[in-house]
Copies of this chain bind each other. A is one copy, B any other.
Amino acid sequence: MTDDVIGDQETGDSATMARQATGAAKREAVAEIVRDDKFNARRIELAEAALETLGELGFARTSLREIAQNSAFTHGVFHYYFSDKLDLICCCVRHYKAKCVTRYDEVVATATSRDELTEGFLAKLAATLQNEARMHRLWYDLRSQAMFEAAFRKDVLEIDKSLEAMIWRIASRYAELGGKRPASSPGALYALFDGLFQSALLKHLAGDKRAVPELLDEVRRLLPTIC
């Protein structure tokens, strides 16, 4: 679109004509941006609908048709907005990321003491485990798929990094409130919490009522140790 504008200006032989052409090009450009935004908004809308079914059935057992049936859309729309199934899933993952990474930021921002941060973190943790179990098992599913499907790896590694940073923000703040520094690396801390969460999630999904309280106990015990 930038090329069009330049082209019009170069071939125009009057200021008025150039202005008109520029105006038309701008209008066109704006229209294209609007169209793009609309397009992306629809993609996200579709991705959100797809996440419902994906969270229910997992990546392997979910077909485009099933996604469509569980939503207000027809299966053709998905093909219209996504080049193929992988494109759709990747869009879902990216969209999921944005939601996930900021989950604990408010707690970190508002907590004024170690206890406050601990309790705020634990409360969010428990709520996440109980209310968003389906979304999180999908995340673990996709991360495993990334070990097989190279197309997922870039996005997955990026999300992993974001999550690691998220955990690091919590730990840093926790240490800061105690006048200390975290005792481990960001990677080790993330591995620890991610491992604990993953294990608790599986137990929770298996119907183990102790999964949530046990996770909270473990984290409560761990936090002072690592910082």
Contact = CB atoms under 8 A, between A and B. Distances in A.
A202 interface: yes
A57 interface: yes
Provide the main secondary structure of the chain A interface: helix
Number of this chain's copies in the assembly equals 2
B218 A185 contact: yes
Interface size class of A (residues with CB under 8 A): 35 or more
A184 B225 contact: yes
Contacts of A187: 196, 199, 214, 218
B148 A188 contact: no
A183 B143 CA distance: 30
B202 A146 contact: yes
Interface string A128-157: 000000000100110111111110010011
A196 B164 CA distance: 12
A160 B199 CA distance: 9
A209 interface: no
B202 A192 contact: no
Interface of A: 57-61, 137, 140-141, 143-150, 153, 156-157, 160, 183-185, 187-188, 190-196, 198-199, 201-203, 205-206, 214, 218, 221-222, 225
